[in-house]
Amino acid sequence: MTILGPGSILGHAVRRREDERLVTGTGRYVDDVQPPGCLQVAFVRSALAHAEIRSVDTGAALAEPGVVGVFTAADLDLPARVGFQMVPAPFARPRLAAGRVRFVGEPVAVVVAESREAAADAAQLVSVDLEPLPPLLGPGAALHHPSVILFADHASNVAGHFVSGGDQDPLEGAEVTIRGRFINQRLAPVPMEPEAILVVPEGARLSVWVTSQTPFDLRAEIASSLRLDERDVRVVVPDMGGGFGAKAGARSELIVVAALARRLGRPLKWIETRSENLVAMTHGRGQIQEVELGATREGRLVGMRAQVLADVGAYPGIATILPFLTGQMSSGVYDIPRIRYEAHSVATTTTPFGAYRGAGRPEAAAMVERAMDMLAVELGLDPAELRRHNFIQPERFPHKTQGGATYDSGNYERALDALLELSQYSELRAEQAGRREQGDRLQLGIGLSVYVEVTAVGIGPEWGAVSVEQDGSVLVRCGTTSFGQGHETSLAQVAAEQLGVSMESVRVIESDTDAVERGHGSVGSRSMQHGGSAVHEAAEGVRDKARELAAHLLEADPQDIVFVSGRVGPAGVPDRALTWAALAAAAADPARLPEGMEPGLAEEVDFNGDGSYPFGAHCAVVEVDVETGDVRLLRYFAVDDCGRIINPLLAEGQVHGGIAQGVGQALYEEFLFDAQGNPLTASLLDYAIPTIGEMPQVVARPTVTPSPNNPLGAKGIGESGTIGSTPAVQNAVVDALSHLGVRHIDMPLSPERVWSAIQAMTA
C-alpha cells in the first residue's frame, strides 16, 4: 500500500529492522548487562493491606551470608512523591513505607546481597511487625462510608472530582431512555518483561539501565530525589519487553535502587519477579459507571448522563485524572447534544492505579458503546443503523464535542461501511437468525464497536535530530523510546524518504539520555505524530541545506536539485550528482560553503503539534453455549484509521496486540482481592490472559483520514485496538443472548457469569 505517493518509502510494509536480534535471542535487555561486582536487590513487602508499622527487625537478615545491608525508609531519607501534579499533597507516596502500609505488596524494606538468591532468602527473614487497620476496598465504600481515612491530612479519600455539562437535564425531551451500570474491572498490565533496573556508580555519575518508557522523566526524578544535577545521571533503555503505560514515570523501587547504588558505591540490580509485578506494578481501568442515554423514538440521541466512580488505589497518581479523560471522550463518535458527566477518583487500600494501554479512553468507549447497544435493543433497531444515524458528519471537523474534546478529522460512516463489508455483516445476521429459530445450543453473537480516541494531547513537544555523517550515512536521534513499536524502522523510513537514501544508510538512536538531547518518551500513542514529525522536519532542514550546498558546488539552480538513490544533483544529469559523503565533506569545509551557511549537515527540531483523534470500527463474532455459559471468539474484524500510515505492517501489528489485550479484558482478566485486601490473582496461574489458542485470526483493513495537526498527517495507533475491541466482544456476548432477554453482563464474561445471566432469564 502506498500512502504518500508513488516512489515513497512511506506507506510500505517494511519489516522491522530490530526483529532479527529479538527473534534470534541476541537482543540486549537490562539483565543481560553484567558489570563486575554487581550486588542484587530484593524488596520486603507488606503482607497486610492496611496497618501501622510497629517495627522492622533486620537482625536475622543481616546475619545471613552474602548480605551487604538491609535498609528502611529511615535509613534512606528519600522525599515522598506526589504521583501527579493535580493530586493533593497529602497523598504523597513514600519510597519505602514509613509509619503505615496501605496495600499488600507495598515495599517496607530492601535487602542488598551478593547474589539474587541470597537477597531473596534474607528478605524472608526481615520481620515486619504490623498493627492491622481496617482495609478500605472498593471506591464506593471509600467514598460513601469514610470511617477509614487513608491519609490523615486529607479530609476524605477523594483524590479527584470532575464535573462537566452544566445544570440542564441532559435527558430532557428523550422519548426513550436506557439505564445501565457498567463495571470496567481492575486489570494488571502484565508486560512480557517485568520491571528491571541496573545502577552503576561511575565517579560522581550514575549510569542507569532500566525498563522505562520515559527515560528523561526518570532521569529527572532520580536526580531530584538524590539531590543530583541531571547531568550526573545517565539513563539508558536497552531492548524492553513491553510497557503498556505502566513503565512510564518513576516507580518507588527504581528510586530506592538508585539511592542505594550511590550510597554503597557499587553496581546494584533489581529484576522484578512476576508475582511482584502483578501485585506492585500499577493496575489499570477500575471504574464503576452509572449511565443514562436518551433518544427519540426514531433513534436520534438527545443526551447522556454519566456518573463514574474510579478506584485509584493506595497512592493516587496519574490515574486520578483518567476519569477526566473518560468524560472528555464520553461523546464517542456520536453527535450527542447534551452530556452531564461527574466522576470521583477515590483512594483504597489496594495496589495503586496508573496509565494502562488506553488510559481512560477504553473506559469511555466501553461506556458509550455498551449504552448504544442497549438503546438499539430498546428501539428495535439494528446496532449498525443506530450508530449510523448519530455519527458526527465529516464536514463538521474540526468538531468540539459536549465532552469538551476538539476532534481533528474523521469519517466514521466510511469506517463502519468498510467493516460491514469486510465482516459480511448481513450474512452473519442471517446465520444468527437461523440458529435462534432452530434453538441451537451454540448461539451466535455479533458485536459492533465504533470508537474514537485521543492521542498525544498534553504531553509536550518531542525532540528529533538528523545529521549526515562523514561517510555519507544518516544519523537520526529522537526523544521517543521503542519497546515493540518498531521505531528503528519507522523513523528510518521518515528520514530516508526526505533525503532520498536507502533505509540501510540510516541509523536510529533513542533511549539514551547521553546520546539524545531531550524527550518525553513513548506514552499516549504519540511517537510517530510527535517524534516522527520532529524527525521529518529535521530531515527537511537537512535536505534544504543540502540542496543549497549542492547548487553552490555544481553551479546549478537550487530548484533543479533532486535527491535520488543516495545522490544529490541536477535533475536529468546523474553524472554530475554528488554523493552524500562528498556533500558532508564539503559541508565541513568553511571555504566551500556559500556565504552565511553554517558548517555541517545537521538539523534538530522540537515538534509541538496538537494531538489527534484516531478512530475505527470493530466487529467481534462469538459463539455462546447456552447450557454452560462458555464463550468462544470465532472471528474478529477491525477497520482502524490512524491518519496517514508510515508502515502498514507495524500499524497492523499494533492493532493486533491491542485487540488481544482488549479481548483479555472482555473475557478473561480481572485482578481480585479478598475481604481483607489480600490479592487473589498474584500469579499467572490465577490471573488469566488470552493465549494464541484463544485468539482467532484478526482481519484488518485501514481507512485513511489524515490529521491536519502534524506534517505527516499521522495519528496514534498503539492503543486503538485495545479501545475498539473490549466493547465489541462484550456486545457480541450480550447480543448472542439478547433474544432470551439478557441486556447486560459485566466483564470479564466468564462462563459462570454468562450462565448465571442465562439462568436469571430462563428460571
| Residue-wise pLDDT tens digits, 19-45 | 999 999 999 999 999 999 999 999 999
- The CA distances from residue 289 to 100, 271, 370, 467, 746, in Å, are 31, 37, 11, 51, 11
Does residue 94 share a domain with residue 39?
yes
Indicate whether 485 and 532 sit together in one domain. Answer: yes
Q: Give a yes or no: residue 309 inside a domain.
A: no
CA 653 – CA 145 distance, rounded (Å):
46
Residues facing residue 340 across a β-bridge: 305
* Interatomic CA distance for residues 204 and 231, integer angstroms: 10
The domain boundary residue, chosen from 271, 289, 305: 271
User: Residue 528 pLDDT > 70, yes or no?
Assistant: yes
636 in Cβ contact with 620 (< 8 Å)? yes
Dist. CA 226–CA 209, nearest whole Å: 17
| pTM reported for the whole predicted model | 0.96
Q: How confident is the model at residue 5 (pLDDT cuts 50, 70, 90)?
A: very low
- In 510-655, at which residue ranges do the beta strands (DSSP E only) sit? 561-564, 567-570, 578-579, 602-607, 615-625, 631-641
Mean pLDDT of the 228-237 span: 98
Q: Percent of the chain at pLDDT above 90?
A: 96
Residues 412 and 472 in one domain: no
Q: How many CA atoms lie within 13 A of 246 on its CB side?
A: 28
**Nearest residue to 190 (alpha-carbon basis) of 247, 117, 106:** 247
As a whole number, mean pLDDT of residues 472-493 equals 97
In this prediction, residues 708-718 reach a mean pLDDT of: 97
Residue 518 has pLDDT above 90, yes or no: yes
SS3 422: helix
Per-residue pLDDT at 366: 98
Task: Report the domain count for the chain.
Answer: 3
Domain boundary among 271, 306, 326: 271
If asked whether residues 581 and 656 sit together in one domain, one would say no
Pairing of β 39-45 and β 268-271? parallel
Q: Please determine, for residue 180, whether its predicted confidence score (pLDDT) is greater than 60.
A: yes
With a cut of 50, say whether residue 630 has pLDDT above it.
Answer: yes
Counting Cα atoms < 13 Å in the Cβ hemisphere of 640 gives: 32
Q: Is the dihedral of CA 396, 401, 405, 410 positive or negative?
A: negative
Task: Check residue 147 and give its pLDDT.
Answer: 85
pLDDT in tens, 656-679: 999 999 999 999 999 999 999 999
User: 126 with 220, same domain?
Assistant: yes
Alpha-carbon span 624 to 443, nearest angstrom: 5
517 and 636 belong to one structural domain: no
Phi-psi region of 389 (alpha: psi -120 to 50; beta: other; left: phi over 0): alpha
CA angle 254, 259, 264 (to 5 degrees): 125
Residue 278 lies in a domain: no
Instruction: Please say whether the beta carbons of 587 and 599 come within 8 A.
Output: yes
Task: Please give the residue range of the domain that contains residue 201.
Answer: 33-133+195-271
Which long-range contacts (C-beta less than 8 Å, at least 24 apart) are formed by 582-588?
A: 582/472, 583/468, 583/472, 583/546, 583/549, 583/550, 583/553, 584/468, 584/469, 584/470, 584/471, 584/472, 585/470, 586/549, 586/553, 587/468, 587/545, 587/549, 588/470
Q: 603 with 649, same domain?
A: no
**Cell numbers at residue 392, please?**
458526527
Average pLDDT for 476-491: 97
The Cα–Cα gap between 526 and 402 comes to 24
**Structure confidence by residue, pLDDT tens digits, 438-473:** 999 999 999 999 999 999 999 999 999 999 999 999
Beta-carbon contacts of residue 652 (< 8 Å; ≥ 6 apart)? 700, 702
- pLDDT at residue 3 above 60? no
pLDDT at 762: 81
Same domain membership, residue 526 and residue 431: no
SS3 758: helix
Q: How sure is the predictor about 4, in pLDDT bands with cuts at 50, 70 and 90?
A: very low
Has residue 509 been placed in a domain? yes
Residues 390-402 have pLDDT tens digits of 999 999 999 999 9
pLDDT tens readout for residues 547-577: 999 999 999 999 999 999 999 999 999 889 9
How high does pLDDT run on average in the chain?
A: 96
Instruction: Check residue 314 and give its pLDDT.
Output: 98
Quote the pLDDT of residue 86: 85
Give CA–CA dist 725/39, Å, rounded. Answer: 44
Output Rg (C-alpha) for the chain, integer angstroms.
28
Residue 116: what are its φ and ψ, rounded to 5°?
-65, -40
Question: Mean pLDDT lowest for which of 79-93, 186-200, 292-306?
Answer: 79-93
Query: Are 217 and 73 members of one domain?
Result: yes
Show which of 271, 286, 311 is a domain's final residue: 271
Residue 1: the pLDDT is 28
Instruction: Say yes or no: 646 and 575 in one domain.
Output: no
**Residue 639 domain-assigned?**
yes
CATH value at residue 668: 3.30.365.10
- How many CB atoms sit inside 10 A of residue 604's CB? 17
143 found inside a domain: no
Q: 646 with 567, same domain?
A: no
Domain membership of residue 659 (yes or no) is: yes
Beta-carbon contacts of 7 under 8 Å, excluding residues fewer than 6 positions away, are none
Residues 203, 152 contacting (CB under 8 angstroms): no
Q: Band the pLDDT of 145: cuts 50, 70, 90.
A: confident
Task: Please report whether residue 344 resides in a domain.
Answer: no
21 domain-assigned: no
Q: Is there a single domain that holds both residue 89 and residue 223? A: yes
pLDDT in tens, 321-371: 999 999 999 999 999 999 999 999 999 999 999 999 999 999 999 999 999
pLDDT tops 80 at residue 2: no
State the SS3 of 360-371.
CHHHHHHHHHHH
| pLDDT tier for residue 7 given thresholds of 50, 70 and 90 | low
